[in-house]
Structure 1
């Protein structure tokens, strides 16, 4: 992406601590490492989020009091004044605990709960935010705890213990970690035999969900959303009367659907007391399956590059990326010392302390919202070279590893210093075999790379046409170029966009595999910026034959995929002027 790495900071933190539990890798300071080692020795870090255990029996009760913090901090004591209650975010009800650790305090909040001797109890709580721990002491047998690293969404922690022969009370607790971000906790429960000390009333079956709507339809999936239900801890989605998926939030995406097919959906609310009646049914219809690769993308899609560095544009977390973007290309993967292989390192320092765990969680959240998140290879200064069978294999293996590690949906080829059509094709075929038919494969060639089908970039696109999602050529930083009519056009006009797109459209690519790539603002590229209205005019000219300049294509291409921009960060810096204008227009194309 021309000019995209200007001023990129490449800072590496000095210490990487690998937390073996759950195979999660996080970066901590040496002080945190020392403190964590001591904590583990005391049995405080026994594992990541564990499977939710069921209640011991139907007669069990929640022995914890004010478990949802609806009465402030009543029955709870937090160290060093670290705890308070907040009205947002909450998991259930109208309040939740927020506890903020300090340098010498881990924000420990406790409650002493009456229990019965020689009994089994299940302790659970919903947490989010910074590092969050849940545990019990004074059990009379083995004290227990469980924990999770940073999380941008609610997670349920759960652990089980038995009481000793003379144990009549235990202390349950939550805490964070020294100097780390605040954590939130809600809906704490200690289920087991009634200890006689009272507790919160048993939950009642929640009300039936309302406001169920279809928020997005793709060729193999339907996304739904609904209003929250008080007292619900989860929701179940039914497709044509059969359970399709269960979630804890108020949205879900049902996958594995047939293209061009109508489905009926209903939602129920659940908690420990049971399941509500089904909601009113809503109907969603999947779209036509896309040509080539593309998974469950909409017919017309918007691609945006997300900067994994700070070069003066707005610094974003992946969760901050504007909702109009259907494909988010993470820029960039870098070459390694192994020929053809690539790697990706999150620029946590440059992004204000954005952690790998937060990034991974944000990838999943975007996917749950129907988006695709891919890793872009190359950029203006990318030096990845795939020139023989070995480097082709290395490329495919390393990209697939990144997909598995971070949850990426595919790869973007943005190699601006040339590529070998034979071996890049071999690499992409090998990657497709590993990733399967849902692979998202995009390309971002420069204008010169797509002037003729004899060019190696164009050849590569044609060789992988059956697995190719979209080619978003960069209509900028190029100067004047030939259009498909043999005339020369200068960048910055409708004619430049339409006449050059025509080369790809008539050169063998499907219209659904062609997108228009433009800068989001004048700061995003050295030259070639056009007003978002010009982008929309070009889209209308190509798809409908309207709003053309002096060049008018001989036919229309209503299946044109859409548009791309460098970058979501520059778009944000410009007040979302690009995505706010081009995004709705793309999604409204025929």
Structure 2
């Protein structure tokens, strides 16, 4: 933040006679609120105190992602000199002009505990007919104040051209359904379109004075605002209205995941295992991961479509009701992304944002408690970390995040999956590594172990337990039956021995962990459907054992 680079003033000043010319800035003292000014991120407001002159001043608040830039475009003449000044208060306050056609300029103060005047100047280029003047703060700094902006020099041509439109008025709620809200508002002079915001996030753009916002959750309250836009920019937001969708309240969440938990994947398809409704899933499962969300044409974004036909006519309404019932009984229901054939890729900042937005939308639509990352065809730790942190910010502290990496993905802390898990340790629920379909692998002692044994499970889990994850973030992932995986099935008795070895130090094979991990989270299986095909033998054995760990 100490480096200002191009933000330094050029030191160019206008002739002294310019001071006698009229002020070209419109609403320079903010006496008319934010009229003629546009502030990024809804960051600005007019306040009555403190002020430098008149009865109002600008107060703008930066955030971690926004510098609270408040600007207006002013008509000017080519090849002319101008002086720009303003009175400011605050830390790291900037005043500048852009679009000059020569050198854009800015000046700043690192700390103005009282009103301080900033002044800079510029010369317009041979074809310049307008410039944009602005104030701004700096990322994450406190709010700053600005007042009495003064731009002097030769006046511009016949007019300033398009002006930023006023905020729309008369925003009204119309028809409301389980998943949609209709809105309407009054037309704004000079506007060429309108942006609709839900809870502060832009959700649609329209050309007229009405819109229907869809994809909402039943029995949920939403806050809506509208802005007007044209070539000059976007207006301040309208007054907010609140609407509550109809339908049944999804009910309270299940609360925190238990200290020791059993995770099971529920199949949204028929592959020969028992076809289940969510209501059929054994109560031994503390987390049910719905498999799977699918990729869309938008990079990073996912969607979910219930396979009603393949599941014997299981309707979306019944599915949602079953989610509510499971949650009311204390079970977390999450959406799993990926799978063996999944093609979701989160490999850019835009894809990360799309992933977070789309998963959060599914959570709101269906009532999911979180997300499971089961990307078996590659994962970028940088952007998946961004995506999951963005989702956490949207969903809040109750978000459940699980991961199901393949065995090879957790052999080293330098692997992308392992790095992602370590990057989000503060919000991660559990990593249930798939200890199957993998052949022989190294344990934490450097020795090679073959899958299908207590030693394989304990020596490989030790890598995570000693590699930076908390015991509560480590789970053992196994198939529920011999048909559930190509290789690596072990009897439930082997799973319980491995759990005891890690948590209690008993039941171990030749490998002895360096310590015990009584906080070990538990176990996972693919899948609840294959478990049901085998008479729920896996969950009836492993479930009570997990819940009885120290």
Same fold (TM over 0.5): yes
2:327 corresponding residue in structure 1: 367
Asked if 2 retains the 8 angstrom alpha-carbon contact of 1:410 and 1:439, the reply is yes
1:428 corresponding residue in structure 2: 388
Q: Which residue, 507, 516, 524 being the options, matches 2:467?
A: 507
Displacement of 1:402 after TM fit? Answer: 0.3
2:266 corresponding residue in structure 1: 306
Q: Which residue, 309, 318, 337 being the options, matches 1:358?
A: 318
Listed one character per residue, the Cα deviations across residues 209-240 of structure 1 (whole Å, up to 9, x for unaligned) are xxxxxxxxxxxxxxxxxxxxxxxxxxxxxxxx
Listed one character per residue, the Cα deviations across residues 541-568 of structure 1 (whole Å, up to 9, x for unaligned) are 0000000000010100000000000000
1:23 corresponding residue in structure 2: 178
1:569–1:504 CA distance, 2 compared to 1 (3 A): same
1:345 corresponding residue in structure 2: 305
Listed one character per residue, the Cα deviations across residues 262-297 of structure 1 (whole Å, up to 9, x for unaligned) are xxxxxxxxxxxxxxxxxxxxxxxxxxxxxxxxx511
Aligned to 2:371, the other structure's residue is in SS state strand
Which whole-Å CA distance do the structure 1 matches of 2:382 and 2:423 have between them? 9
Aligned to 1:390, the other structure's residue is in SS state helix
Which whole-Å CA distance do the structure 2 matches of 1:385 and 1:562 have between them? 29
Which whole-Å CA distance do the structure 2 matches of 1:566 and 1:548 have between them? 24
How many residue pairs get aligned? The number is 315
Which whole-Å CA distance do the structure 2 matches of 1:526 and 1:472 have between them? 18
Q: Which residue, 488, 493, 515 being the options, matches 1:533?
A: 493
Could you tell me which runs of 5 or more consecutive residues in structure 1 were left unpaired when the two chains were aligned: 1-19, 26-48, 51-147, 156-246, 256-294
Which whole-Å CA distance do the structure 1 matches of 2:425 and 2:532 have between them? 33
Which whole-Å CA distance do the structure 2 matches of 1:573 and 1:500 have between them? 29
2:445 corresponding residue in structure 1: 485
Displacement of 1:21 after TM fit? Answer: 6.4
Asked if 1 retains the 8 angstrom alpha-carbon contact of 2:294 and 2:338, the reply is yes
2:338 corresponding residue in structure 1: 378
Displacement of 1:418 after TM fit? Answer: 1.2
Which whole-Å CA distance do the structure 2 matches of 1:336 and 1:425 have between them? 20
Displacement of 1:253 after TM fit? Answer: 7.7
Asked if 2 retains the 8 angstrom alpha-carbon contact of 1:253 and 1:369, the reply is no
Which whole-Å CA distance do the structure 2 matches of 1:366 and 1:24 have between them? 22
Which whole-Å CA distance do the structure 1 matches of 2:351 and 2:519 have between them? 35
Q: Which residue, 361, 367, 370 being the options, matches 1:410?
A: 370
Which whole-Å CA distance do the structure 2 matches of 1:468 and 1:562 have between them? 15
1:244 corresponding residue in structure 2: none
Asked if 1 retains the 8 angstrom alpha-carbon contact of 2:268 and 2:291, the reply is yes
Displacement of 1:343 after TM fit? Answer: 0.2
Which whole-Å CA distance do the structure 1 matches of 2:297 and 2:257 have between them? 35
Provide the alpha-carbon RMSD of the alignment.
2.3
1:21–1:254 CA distance, 2 compared to 1 (3 A): closer
Aligned to 2:426, the other structure's residue is in SS state helix
Displacement of 1:337 after TM fit? Answer: 0.2
Which whole-Å CA distance do the structure 1 matches of 2:275 and 2:381 have between them? 35
Which whole-Å CA distance do the structure 1 matches of 2:342 and 2:307 have between them? 17
Asked if 1 retains the 8 angstrom alpha-carbon contact of 2:253 and 2:327, the reply is no
Determine whether 1:389 maps to 2:349: yes
Displacement of 1:24 after TM fit? Answer: 5.3
Asked if 1 retains the 8 angstrom alpha-carbon contact of 2:253 and 2:328, the reply is no
Aligned pairs for 1:82-481 (under 5 A) are 296-481=256-441
> What TM-score do you get using the length of structure 1 for normalisation?
0.52
Determine whether 1:587 maps to 2:547: yes
Asked if 2 retains the 8 angstrom alpha-carbon contact of 1:253 and 1:370, the reply is no
Which whole-Å CA distance do the structure 2 matches of 1:253 and 1:403 have between them? 14
Aligned to 1:302, the other structure's residue is in SS state strand
Aligned to 1:466, the other structure's residue is in SS state coil
2:150 corresponding residue in structure 1: none
Determine whether 1:554 maps to 2:514: yes
Q: Which has the higher contact order (CA 8 A, sep 6+)?
A: 1
Displacement of 1:254 after TM fit? Answer: 9.7
Which whole-Å CA distance do the structure 2 matches of 1:22 and 1:374 have between them? 25
Determine whether 1:569 maps to 2:529: yes
